Amino acid sequence: MRERVTFVHSPDAHVEPSALQLQPAGLVGPATTAIRQDRLTFALNELPLELGSFLRTAGAVHVRWTTAEEHDSLEPFSSRLSPGLWLSFTPLTDGGPNSVRTLCGLLQAFGPLDCMTPEAFTRAETAASFSLHQRLDDLSALVRWGVHELCADTDPICHARTRALYTAASLDISFDSADQLLKVAAFWPLRKQVLTVAASDTRRTEVGVFTKDAPPNMGPLEVGLGGLLSVMREHKEPSPTLFSFPSRHRASGASFSSEFLAPTGLHPTLQLRLSTNTITADSDAECAPYAYLTLPRTVFADRYQLGDKLLLASKNLSALRHSTLPVDLEAPEYATKTWGSSILLELAPPTPRSGQAWTAEVPLHARYVKPTASGYSELQIPYPAVFWACSSEGTADFSNNPFDRRHVGYDALFGPETTFWHATPRAEVGGRLVSSLTIPTLREDGAAWVRLGTTVVVGLGFAWVMGRIVAAAWGKGQDKSEAVGKRRR
């Protein structure tokens, strides 16, 4: 097992090298405002037996969880996803429903998830992979599972590190059959943190304390970091370091918010409010703004409606670039098995590009849901990821980035050298990155009358149709009898 702990603090939060001490128990340092990432790498034989056995049959598994709480970050940890739990799974062989059920059983460590059948997943158009998104507000269930299943009773450090996930902003779990390694990365947002990391006899631990810097000859697509690097129980004191690397995800400096326009009804409009209509990127890059929406099954976008160019232009949209399939446009929520859908929309900011704030509007549709006592249903729709995607003629080798983040859903819809300049999401109410939506439903106290009325109307309609058919047949019989009688006379 290998471990890497990274702190990145802002340049004005200066950390003196003498304040960091390497002791037998670990690294001890002061408190400062910083972000933190813990990254663990496991071989399959280091995992619980059931998990290791399943991964040997998997081609790739990527799990991404993101909190719905508003938070700030620093480069190079700039990537953004919609809140909730996102999964991508590619089986090594066509295991069918069995592999999906096994994976879903393992995922129950996160809490109750609706994923036991292949119909709950969406499928990629060009690869035999499954995707799923579920609302998951926190990692409390996973923490309880980890404390009991992963940590020994005599290992307080494992217990403390696992419980720290209560305050994490994101968690990434990735496996690829090419390297046969499971990689786990937890991220804590920008806040007051103590620069302390415990050493371990069972793993190699590397710790970096960095701030943004600019090494000589740093390229235009690169991010530079400078600071101190330590390897527990190998170094006697932290070593100074300065390096740069191409970064797939960048901070644009822009921000956005998301809310549904009132009144909502069954055809709500999601408004995105962006702080600027331009960003500062490489002058040779071609950039366009996008919104990647992750919609639960209660809400969907009509891809045929989003093909209307006049409608798109009126709402500052350019084109629908991607939509997961299938999307049933008529089924109610309780008859829909698929988790939901994702769409990628290219936005059309107004001109001139002078940095002013602007809005884009996304027309959506709500499905019929089960009756409620109040006659209304309250939904929580996760914020989208909003970014400028930039492609340039130069080549960027993102594999040199030790903090590169891939398999986040939307990155597969662009070329491998695309740079994403992210807008920071800002909550409208309550500090949560979800948009509230109220839709009308049938009242529970009226449901029985509606069923009775429907039965009566259908019965009367059926009786009327049958009566007309019998009358028509009877009339034809009478006419035929009269005609026969006339011929006989």
Q: In tens digits, what is the pLDDT along the chain, a chain of 489 residues?
A: 899 999 999 988 888 889 999 998 899 999 999 999 999 999 999 998 999 999 999 999 999 999 999 999 999 999 999 999 999 999 887 666 788 889 999 999 999 999 988 889 998 765 678 899 999 999 999 999 999 988 888 888 889 999 999 999 999 999 999 999 999 999 999 999 999 999 888 889 999 999 999 999 888 789 999 999 999 988 889 999 999 999 999 999 999 999 999 999 999 999 999 999 988 776 567 899 999 999 999 999 999 999 999 999 999 999 999 999 878 888 999 999 999 999 999 999 988 877 899 999 999 999 999 988 888 999 999 999 999 999 876 667 888 899 999 999 999 999 998 999 999 999 998 899 999 999 999 887 665 666 677 788 888 888 888 888 888 877 666 666 665 565 555
Q: Are residue 81 and residue 45 in the same domain, yes or no?
A: yes
pLDDT at site 94: 67
Residue 296 included in any domain: yes
**Helix (H), strand (E), coil (C) string for 75-138:** CCCCCCCCCEEEEEEEECCCCCHHHHHHHHHHHHHHCCCCCCCHHHCEECCCCCCEEEEECCCC
Cα(406)–Cα(410) distance, integer angstroms: 9
Last residue of a domain, one of 228, 246, 264: 246
Q: Are residue 269 and residue 230 in the same domain, yes or no?
A: no
Cα(232)–Cα(236) distance, integer angstroms: 8
pLDDT at site 238: 92
Last residue of a domain, one of 223, 246, 269: 246
pLDDT at site 475: 67
pLDDT at site 410: 96
Which residues does 353 contact at the CB level (< 8 Å), separation at least 6? Answer: 277, 278
pLDDT at site 53: 93
Q: Are residue 240 and residue 256 in the same domain, yes or no?
A: no
Q: Are residue 213 and residue 89 in the same domain, yes or no?
A: yes
Residue 256 included in any domain: yes
pLDDT at site 481: 60
Parent domain of 211: 2-246
Residue 465 included in any domain: yes
Cα(401)–Cα(76) distance, integer angstroms: 9
Q: Are residue 397 and residue 464 in the same domain, yes or no?
A: no
Total domains in the fold of the chain: 3
Burial class (CB in 10 A: 0-12, 13-18, 19+), 106: middle
pLDDT at site 478: 63
Contact between 289 and 269 (Cβ < 8 Å) = no
CA angle 142, 143, 149 (to 5 degrees): 85
Contact between 205 and 232 (Cβ < 8 Å) = yes
Cα(55)–Cα(43) distance, integer angstroms: 11
Closest CA to 89 of 63, 120, 68, 126: 63
Residue 122 included in any domain: yes
Q: Are residue 406 and residue 466 in the same domain, yes or no?
A: no
Query: In this structure, what CATH number is given to the domain that contains residue 349?
Result: 2.60.40
Residue 396 included in any domain: yes
Last residue of a domain, one of 246, 276, 296: 246
Residue 447 included in any domain: no
Strand pairing category for 340-347 and 317-323: antiparallel
Q: Are residue 424 and residue 471 in the same domain, yes or no?
A: no
pLDDT, tens digit, 9 for 90 and up, residues 331-380: 999 999 999 999 999 999 988 877 899 999 999 999 999 988 888 999 99
Q: Are residue 477 and residue 371 in the same domain, yes or no?
A: no
pLDDT, tens digit, 9 for 90 and up, residues 176-199: 999 999 999 999 999 999 999 998
pLDDT at site 282: 64
Q: Are residue 168 and residue 268 in the same domain, yes or no?
A: no
Q: Which residue has the tokens 């066509």?
A: 94
Q: Are residue 279 and residue 426 in the same domain, yes or no?
A: yes
Residue 425 included in any domain: yes
Q: Are residue 466 and residue 364 in the same domain, yes or no?
A: no
pLDDT at site 136: 97
pLDDT at site 327: 84
Residue 235 included in any domain: yes
Q: Give the count of beta carbons closer than 10 Å to the beta carbon of residue 470.
A: 10
Which residues does 230 contact at the CB level (< 8 Å), separation at least 6? Answer: 20, 22, 27, 206, 207, 208, 237, 238, 239
pLDDT at site 215: 92
Instruction: Give me 278's structure tokens.
Output: 């331009």
Q: Are residue 179 and residue 260 in the same domain, yes or no?
A: no
Question: Using a CB cutoff of 8 Å and minimum separation of 24, what contacts does 307-311 make?
Answer: 311/363
Cα(275)–Cα(359) distance, integer angstroms: 9
Cα(363)–Cα(270) distance, integer angstroms: 6
